[in-house]
Amino acid sequence: MSRTRILIVDDHQIVRDGIKRILTDENNIELIGSVGSGKDALAFIKCNQPDIVIADLSMPNMSGIELTETISKLYPQIKVLILSMFNNEEYIVSAIQAGAKGYLPKQDSTTEILLEAIRTIASGDEFFSPSISKIVLKSFINNAKSSGVSDVAKKHQLTSREKEILKLYVEGCTNNEIADKLNLSVYTVKTHKNNIMQKYNFKSTVEMIKFALRNNIVEW
């Protein structure tokens, strides 16, 4: 089984060292680099492409959001996990719009949560800590209230099971949690999710949730 290649980007050496210690003993994770700026990160990526970049938001010369936008544009196969002291709505939504696949507040992140985030993102899903998920949902719900049902939403029909699973995603549940709640296998949950995303041509779970809320596809 291939190892997930990680690049750490943070202007604080103590933070980079702390993440290194967490990742060092993980058999399925390979730390391939640690740099202190977005500029250094892009130079590194040209020669050594990681699977996941763990980046801070607040850095000199190039912010984490700018770095995320650049990586998403130039290297769409590389996933970005934001690890930041900032947990306000503006920063979180901006990071997601820039292409971040995960967002963790430094003050709430334990070793277990960081490793879970890496594994989840490496598997192709997004990961947001519970506190971040609430902020994201609040933002999307507020935006949804001012929007009507789109023609795309009217065009496609979801099965009752798909609606049931979509509602649980909206509530912030993970694949494993949905499987437990509905007494299904994780594979079955992922299959239903893929069906939903193919019907609407969604590119991410966040896009799926935002669309569901905006168009009142599930009750909330």
57 falls within a domain = yes
Indicate whether 49 and 155 sit together in one domain: no
- Alpha helix positions (H), 48-174: 64-74, 89-98, 111-122, 130-145, 151-155, 160-170
Position 162 in a domain: yes
The residues, any chain, with a CB within 8 Å of residue 171's CB and separated by 6 or more, are none
Domain C-terminal end among 114, 137, 160: 137
Q: Domain check: are 11 and 106 in the same one?
A: yes
Q: Which residues contact 84 (CB under 8 A, 6 or more apart)?
A: 56, 57, 58, 64, 91, 103, 104, 105, 106
How much is the pTM? 0.67
Strand partners for 212: none
pLDDT in tens, 83-123: 988 877 788 888 888 999 999 988 877 889 899 999 999 98
**Domain check: are 57 and 131 in the same one?**
yes
Q: What is the pLDDT of residues 2-44, one digit of tens each?
A: 899 999 999 999 999 999 999 988 889 999 999 999 999 999 9
**Are 91 and 40 found together in one domain?**
yes
Specify the residue for token string 């430094």.
106
Nearest in space to 93 (alpha carbons), one of 135, 126, 122: 135
Number of domains in the chain: 2
Whether 80 and 99 have beta carbons less than 8 Å apart is answered as: yes
